[in-house]
Amino acid sequence: MLETVHVGEHQLTAIAGVAGALLAWRLVQYVSQNRKPRRLDGIYVAGTNNGQRTDKETREYFIQHCDELMLEGYSKTKGGFFYLPTPSGDRLMLPTKYMEELKNSADELVDFNGSFLEMFSGKQTTIGIKWHLHPAVVKRDLNASLAQIMPAVEDEVFHAFKELLPQGNDWAPICPADTFTQIISRASNRMLGGKALSRNAEWTATSIDFTTDTWLASQRLKEFPAVTRSLVKHFIPEMSRVYRHQEVARKVICPLVRQRLQNPEKPHLDLLQMLWDAASGEDKTPEFMAYTGLVVSFAAIRTSSSVPVHLVYDLCARPEYLEPLREEIGTMLEQENGHYTKAGLARLVKLDSFMKESQRFNPLSFLTFGRLINRDLTLHDGFVIPGGTMIGIPAYAISQDPELFPSPSTFDGFRHVGGSAQFVTTNAANLSWGYGKHACSGRFFAASEIKLMVAHFIMTYDFKLSTPGITRPANIAYELQNMADPSVQIMVRPRQSMI
C-alpha cells in the first residue's frame, strides 16, 4: 500500500531552489560552450582519426597527445592552417608566413595577454594581470647589466652546489628536477633581490611552489564554466595555496623595499631596484613590487628549471658529448681566470648547440605565438580569422620539419655549431622563446644562468642514470605543456680531478 508523502512549504522552496540552481548551471555550461567561435569550413581538424573519434574524444585525446596531433596537422596540411581541438576550445594553427604581419598588429587586436590569461586562468590566478612593468625593465635595464650581475649569480650557483649536491667521493642519488629547480630559484632570486631573497628559505620555497600551485589551480578552474570561476576560486584548495604565496611575497619583499627606501644612498644592482626606479604612479608601492617579484619568479623558474633537467637527461643518454663539452668549458675558464663571465659563456658554442638541440626535442611548450584574436582579422591575402579565435604557431612540428632540419629525428648535439642562430635567437625555425615584441625578454639572462649551472655541473660531477636499461627518461605531456619526468633520479659523484 502506497503512503501519501506530504511536502511542506519550506521543502518545496528548497526543492525549487535546487532545481533552479541546476537549471542555471546547465544554462551557464550551454552558454560557455556556445560562445566559442565556429570552425571555418575546409580547415583540417587534427586528431579525429578519420572521423572515428567524436569531438569530445578528440579533445580528451589531445590532453596527452598534443605533439602527435600537431605533427599530424602540420604534415597533412604541409605547414598550412589546421585546428587543434583542446579541452578549452579550438586552436587555429597558422603558417609561419603570417608571423611578421601578426607580430606588428596592435595588442588590442592580436592579444598576447588574452592567450596567457586563458592558458593560466589569469583572471583568477592573476597570471597575465598587470604585467606591464617587468618585461620592459628586463629588456632595457637587466639585459644591459648582465655582465655586472653575473658574478653574483655565479657566487649563488657555487653556494647552492655546496649545499644541495653530494660532496663525498662515492656515487649518490639526486633528483635533478628537484635539485636543479632549487639551484635555479636561488640564482634567479639573487638576480632579483640579492642575498636577502636568495638566502631566504621561505621566499625561495614560495617562488618555486607558486609556479606549480598556480598551474594546478588554473587546471582545476578550467573544470568549471568560465563565468563561474571568479566565484569558484574562493572554494578550491589550489587557489588557497596561491593566496598563501602572495601573502609570503608581501611579507618578504615589502619590508625589503621599505628598508631600501630608508637607505637610498646604498646602491643595489638587481632587478628589484631597476623595477622600483622605473615604476611610477600606483605601481610605485612595496605591494606592487611584491606582486611583480612573484611574477618574475614564476617566469624565471618555469622557463629555466626545466631546461637543465632535459640537458642532463640527454647527456646521460649520450655521454660521448661530455668530453668535447668539458674541453670547451675548460678552455673558456682558463681564459676567464676560472670564472663564468657573460663574455666567456657566449663563447661556449658547442654547449649552446647542445642546448638548442635538446630544446628542439624537448620544448617547454609545443606551441608558440599563442594569441587571442579579439575581432575579425583580415590577413594580407584575404584570409579572415574570426574574432574570438585562439591562434598559435606549431613550433614543435616546425622543429621536426626535414626541410628545416635534415634528419630531424636524429639528435645531433653539435648540429648548430657554426650557424648564425644561437640558443636565444628567435626566428621562424627557432620559436622556443616566442617571436616578435612579446618574445621572452628574459631569455638572455635565462640562457646565461642555464649555461653557467650546466657547465659547472658538467665540470664538477660525473653522472649517470640510476635505472639500468633506460636510455633517456620519457617526457610527460599535458595539453600544450611538455615536462621532464620529475620522479627520475640520477647518480652523481664529484669528479676525481675536481676533488
For the annotated binding site for heme, the residues are 440
CA distance 296 to 486: 23
Annotated binding site: 440
CA distance 213 to 230: 17
CA distance 265 to 248: 27
